Amino acid sequence: MIADWEATGVFLADTLHVRQPDLFAFIQSTLGSHGVEVRVLHHVCDIWARDFCPIQVRPGQLVQFRYEPDYLAEHAELRSDRAVARQFAEVGEIQHSDINLDGGNVVASRSKAIITDKVYRENSGWNRAKLREELRQLLQVEQLVVIPKEPYDPIGHADAMVRFIDEGTVWLNDYSKVAPTFGDRLAKTLHRHGLKIKLAPYFLERQTTNGIPSAVGCFTNLLRTEKVVLVPVYGRKQDRIARERLHALIPDVPIVSVDCTNLARQGGVLNCVCASYRCFPKGA
């Protein structure tokens, strides 16, 4: 896989410019000022570019999964189809898969990928062992780690729970005050796969929009690139803790805070709206 920290370019949906113009402008200008290329996706149906865009597995190689999440079963108008892949011709060759998988449910380092067990429910016709092996090969990783999804989250994405810091370390939501039993089970799963854990502050804003829980309080859903990290903040005391811990874990890259309160109340944060890639200069 192409790890987060290797990304040199980011795609944003034109719908984000319409619905969150200030946030769009801030992300675009901040990334640009740090030398990260930003491109705009046109003719898409929603703002969550990470979920419906292809996933880069190697330089010049991408995989486009089927995007039919159960939480959009009654909202087909919000599902961007595979035609979006045409806008990635300069990034690489695209392999199409009929596996139903959102991009936000793939968290990766170079050799490992983490997904939640929601992938089983959305691909119920598959034998689970065969599904895991097919995903491991498509994502071109040595190890595929399947973790339990949050019990109260209908989206079920891994990027709302955990992110890789390096090949052997992950940044995990601190569930001790929210769901301690679940947090212990999740930590045991990660430890069983040889991963070290560093805790991210975490809290819940108990409100929903159109049945989707608010993501306010989630700091793992940051945007990481080769040259800068954008971390969500919410005007709470946990903001400072998150920034300080990230600075300690990723000391060599600038970390920029982004107020994501309004965005998070729609159910997603920075990683959700930013599809990141190891891009090449035009003509290369």
144-159: per-residue pLDDT in tens?
999 999 998 999 999 9
Range 4-277 has CATH code 3.40.50.2300: no
Q: Find tokens 């989707």 and name the residue.
A: 212
pLDDT for residue 183 is more than 70? yes
Mean pLDDT, rounded, of the chain: 95
Q: How far is residue 82 from each of residues 51, 87, 217, 245, measured CA to CA in Å?
A: 12, 10, 32, 38
Percent of the chain whose pLDDT exceeds 70? 98
Task: Assess contact for 125 and 66: CB atoms under 8 A.
Answer: no
Q: What is the pTM of this model?
A: 0.95
User: What confidence tier does 281 reach under pLDDT thresholds 50, 70, 90?
Assistant: low
Quick check: 45 and 84 in contact, CB under 8 A? no
- pLDDT tens digits, residue range 15-45? 999 999 999 999 999 999 999 999 999 999 9
Mean pLDDT score, 107-121? 98
pLDDT at 206 over 90: no
Rounded Cα distance, 61 and 129, in Å? 25
pLDDT band, residue 283 (cuts 50/70/90): very low
3-state SS, residue 37: strand
CA atoms of 165 and 108, how far apart (whole Å): 10
Of 221 and 81, the one with more pLDDT: 221
Residue 258 has pLDDT above 60, yes or no: yes
pLDDT of residue 280: 59
